[in-house]
């Protein structure tokens, strides 16, 4: 996927256009303080911006990503932070931590049940007793309703001398209990087009709740966004805070 390789140096600038990064950090800070979290594992850390901010707030985070290029940039930008290369469904930490986070729809790359189970099983191993798991997951309900969306412009950003237009469309390619979406992007960088395709799985909340229960996690909260608004079935995402069961 080119977003995580050829476009990695622009990744955060591209993503930030459709996010509220400061709200994400404040949500994590408040959640961690409420549950007395100190050590944090960020699975799918990208180019390390969450790691840098959390460390600056006094937490002890470790970032893990499956893209060597993303980690190369993270380490160059934030040499005082800790990063490791690893597949999200297979990573086992050297020491258990207080919290595991997996944001930006990274969970949605787990496109079959085995990958989901392996990921959650390792999250359980990677957490201390009563540890927290925070997941941001794209919701299947609106995708099932829309089914297909043509490629249109979703953002225009600039990084240095590079102007970047992001165009995105999607189509639902499998619509049973395993809902698979093909997401197509066209990035225009200073008038040069770059095409990218991502295959992702979207989830209904009851599916995720069952996966969590199977792997000994109890759901504490489900939100629609980082403002803490209550989850609604028609919303684009679910933000889940779960606790490792003793």
Per residue in 124-140, pLDDT (tens digit) is 999 999 999 999 999 99
Residues 6-31: tens digit of each pLDDT: 999 999 999 998 888 999 999 999 99
Angle between helices 113-126 and 205-214 (to 10 degrees): 50
3-class SS of residue 182: strand
Rounded to 10 degrees, what is the CA torsion of 204, 205, 208, 210? -110
Find, among 199, 197, 198, 202, the residue nearest to 236 by Cα: 202
Rounded Cα distance between 77 and 21, Å, is: 17
| Domain 141-201 class, CATH top level | mainly beta
Whole-structure pTM value? 0.96
| Domain 2-139+203-244 class, CATH top level | alpha beta
Angle between helices 49-56 and 21-34 (to 10 degrees): 50
Residues 28-80: tens digit of each pLDDT: 999 999 999 999 999 999 999 999 999 999 999 999 999 999 999 999 999 99
Domain ranges of the chain: 2-139+203-244, 141-201
Structure tokens at 202: 């979207």
Q: What is the DSSP letter of 13?
A: H
2-139+203-244 against 141-201: fold identical: no
């Amino acid at each position: 996927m080119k977003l995580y390789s050829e476009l990695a140096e622009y990744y955060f600038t591209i993503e930030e256009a459709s996010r509220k990064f400061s709200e994400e950090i404040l949500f994590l800070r408040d959640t961690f303080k409420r549950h007395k979290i100190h050590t944090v594992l960020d699975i799918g850390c990208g180019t390390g911006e969450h790691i840098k901010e959390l460390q600056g707030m006094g937490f002890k985070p470790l970032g893990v990503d499956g893209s060597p290029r993303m980690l190369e940039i993270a380490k160059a930008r934030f040499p005082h932070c800790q990063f490791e290369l690893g597949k999200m469904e297979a990573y086992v930490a050297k020491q258990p931590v207080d919290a595991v986070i997996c944001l930006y729809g990274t969970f949605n790359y787990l496109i079959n049940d085995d990958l989901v189970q392996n990921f959650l099983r390792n999250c359980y191993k990677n957490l201390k007793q009563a540890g927290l798991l925070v997941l941001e997951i794209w919701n299947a309900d609106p995708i099932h309703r829309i089914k297909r969306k043509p490629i249109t412009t979703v953002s225009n950003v600039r990084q240095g001398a590079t102007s970047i237009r992001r165009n995105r469309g999607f189509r639902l390619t499998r619509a049973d209990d395993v809902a698979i979406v093909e997401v197509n992007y066209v990035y225009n960088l200073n008038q040069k087009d770059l095409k990218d395709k991502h295959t992702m799985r979207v989830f209904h909340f009851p599916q995720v709740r069952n996966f969590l229960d199977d792997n000994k996690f109890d759901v504490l909260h489900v939100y629609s966004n980082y403002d803490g608004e209550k989850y609604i079935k028609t919303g684009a995402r679910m933000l889940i805070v779960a606790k490792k069961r003793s």
